[in-house]
Structure 1
Amino acid sequence: MNKNVLSGGLAIIALVIGIMNYISIAELNTNIEKERNETVQTSKDNAHNEEDYELAKAMGYLQTYSHKLYLAGENENWELSEFYAHEIEETIEEIENAKVVDEGYDISALVGTMTNPAFEKVEKSIHDENTQAFADSYKLLVQSCNACHQTTKHQFVKIDIPEGGKVFNQSFSK
């Protein structure tokens, strides 16, 4: 009888352990699936493409601010130039942080590598209040914008220096 009680007790213990393992594995699988879904959602939230990030809007801001920056710098209004330089810097940072990929091109990385070096020279010329350095660095900035447009197959968007009373800092000719 002791043998039957002992084996019955062991069977119950084994059954309880089995049930606990089953519950633990089920909970573990549920947690793993939940974490995977959260990771996928986070990845989706952090990656932007042309449908969920308004790149054209950000580029429009860059164009407007750079036009005003040029006019302020040309008139040696360094305080206003600094203001627009700051707005440009914020827009560049926004594009870089948005991790934008448009038509297969990593726009965020390109803005960082192609635009930032030229823009930093513009900022230095403003800080130094150097009109000639400003004109030269602004020209370099425009060239970097157009080089990026070439790289991303948007060569039809030609940024220009707004000299001679031009209304826009863009060339609309073919």
Structure 2
Amino acid sequence: MYIDFHDQTNSVPSDYVDLLQRLLNFSADREGVPKEAEISINFVDNREIQELNRNYRQQDKPTDVISFALQEAVEGEMEILGDDGPLALGDIVISVDKAKEQADAYGHSLEREYGFLVVHGLLHLLGYDHRNEEEEKAMFTKQDDLLDAFGLER
């Protein structure tokens, strides 16, 4: 999988980026994602993610991760015919501020928190969601299974 990382905060160490790249490729392989698929990971601060959350989800508060799926069918949207191009799954935006807060609150490493957030974002890009209890259980079980199998347990 092709992963394009953008760190607008200039605060995410390169060894974390390497770990997240390995984790995303591991997870994508486990989920049967084609090798030529593309995603982007964007690290931002709370101000930036709050703006995105307000504009796209109508929630005027910072959040930890937002995913923008490009393969999701939207009512009234024109279907693009042909599959000659690469499979662009979408974008994952992570708040580094929220990641640090949550790692402290949950008592685990920042690496584990970033890992949780990228897997959570990837699963959203693949169509998983947590709008109800059943979906949430399936998605969170999948997240935990992937993180544990990779070796990023709590």
TM-score interval, normalised by the smaller of the two chains: under 0.3
What is the TM-score of this pair, normalised by structure 1?
0.23
What is the TM-score of this pair, normalised by structure 2?
0.25
Bigger relative contact order (CA 8 A; separation at least 6): 2
* More strand as a share of residues: 2
Larger radius of gyration: 1
* More helix as a share of residues: 1
